[in-house]
Amino acid sequence: MALESINPANGEVLQSFSYWERSRLQAVLKSCVAARQDWQGSALSDRTALLRAAAKVLRDNKEDYARLITLEMGKLINDSRAEVEKCALVCDYYAEHAAEFLADEIIETDAGKSYVTYQPMGTVLAVMPWNFPFWQVFRFAAPALAAGNIGLLKHASNVPQCALAIEEVFRQAGFPEHVFTTLMIPASVVADVIADDAVQAVTLTGSEPAGRQVGSRAGEMIKHSVLELGGSDPFIVLPDADMEQAVKWGVTSRYLNTGQSCIAAKRFILVGEAADSFLPAFKTAVEALQPGDPLEASTTLGPMARVDLRDELHQQVRESLEQGAVIVTGCAPVDGPGAYYQPSIMDHVKPGVRAYNEELFGPVAIVIRAADVEQAIRIANASRFGLGGSVWTADTALGEQIALRLECGAAFVNGMVKSDPRLPFGGVKASGYGRELCHHGIREFVNVKSVWIA
């Protein structure tokens, strides 16, 4: 078996890689155990200096990394550049704040001295997706490595070149050997790696089924896990919203990365008369998107990452239409080579329609109509997912009240849901558990130890 890097814009096989033999995997796991003690014992200032060096490597090679991202999974080239820059930003963020986040916390008790200290957990296995092939990795790796953990990466099978490039970033930055390693293994081997004594924790960003498997295995082995899974984020528009801004950010939030984002706006819940002004302008803006070569600056919608993913999306759309949803625009694959799908909108999506309950991971927006705010909130929360959500209204006090009632990990008022190193990131319900980024992220993979001295 082999890992294949395929350009989704034209189907061209870019490069192939052989999966590792078991013996090589076991050797790498042993090397991680050997490297762990020295890395954990290194000075925090030395680790953060290496993170700053990694940020410099990313920025110095931004064009090369961006092109690689675009070629392997189809992201628009300007978005790929922004992704690389964001990875450098998160490295700088933890280089600056790790000492503060990991500082001992003095606790007044009956002891002569007592405090809480944060010590590295050990080796963390990261099972990562293809949709943000650099960012998803660095948002785990920067805090985990800063805290003194070893990192192992099992990346998605369709982005092997990105996986190896990330390992090279850390190597060029001067990180010691075996502190961060890309594992060229199939998904079928992940359960064995989680069970291995060399691994102390696991983090996964990916689908709900993958999260259930990884979380179950980690629980079976009594190992800490963090899961960031799917999302079906509500985008609630009230009649008094600034429709120009709501449309602008609605298009960006839904169709960024060709709609292949866990925190993309997926359910457009239009309250009362909001549908009359929002939907026509939204349709016009969506139809203006131009599918094409993602390496060309003029392209505004790239291909989906794989043809099979496009076909699965179209099956969801086709069944939803058969069940009563109505086409506003698009709703079909683009003819010709590559994994392209038309920028699409379906209206009148109601209970009983497949798209009402499922995450559509591609360039398809669904419209659900609500009579009033209370119904909008009920619709928003009537989902097994709970990653993010946004509210659009001129009444920001009301918007805040609605945001607080949404069952999700991040709620934005008059803004697009996004990840930010300064804010914790994660979800509830079937969107997973645990948090990345901010001080919460660096403390996920540490032993929170109490020390009491008489």
Contact 293, 270 (CB under 8 A): no
Q: Which residue has the tokens 């659009």?
A: 392
> Looking at the domain assignment, is residue 412 inside a domain?
yes
d(CA 390, CA 411) in angstroms, rounded, equals: 6
Residue 177, domain extent: 2-229+431-453
Which residue of the set 72, 83, 167, 228 is catalytic? 228
Helix (H) or strand (E) holding 385: strand 385-386
Is residue 228 part of the annotated active site? The answer reads yes
Residue 210 shares a structural domain with residue 239: no
Q: Which residue has the tokens 């001080």?
A: 439
Mean pLDDT by 10 residues, the chain (454 residues): 92 97 98 97 98 98 98 98 98 98 98 98 98 98 98 98 98 98 98 98 97 98 97 98 98 98 98 98 98 97 98 98 98 97 98 97 98 98 98 98 98 98 98 98 98 98
pLDDT at 2 (0 to 100): 83
pLDDT at 1 (0 to 100): 65
Which residue of the set 262, 331, 408, 438 is catalytic? 262
Query: Which residues on neighbouring strands pair with residue 125, listed in sequence order?
Result: 152, 202
Question: Quick check: pTM over 0.75?
Answer: yes
Amino acid at 10: N
Burial classification of residue 20, based on how many CB atoms lie within 10 Å of its CB (0-12 exposed, 13-18 middle, 19 or more buried) = middle
Residue 245 shares a structural domain with residue 313: yes
Residue 313 shares a structural domain with residue 200: no
Return phi, psi of residue 257, to 5°: 60, 35
pLDDT at 202 (0 to 100): 98
Residue 314 shares a structural domain with residue 387: yes
Residue 342 shares a structural domain with residue 445: no
Residue 362 shares a structural domain with residue 269: yes
Residue 238 shares a structural domain with residue 202: no
Residue 299 shares a structural domain with residue 403: yes
d(CA 221, CA 51) in angstroms, rounded, equals: 31
> Looking at the domain assignment, is residue 155 inside a domain?
yes
Residue 16 Cα distances to 160, 379, 426, angstroms = 8, 45, 33
A 10 A CB-CB count for 332 gives: 12
d(CA 87, CA 142) in angstroms, rounded, equals: 9
pLDDT at 377 (0 to 100): 98
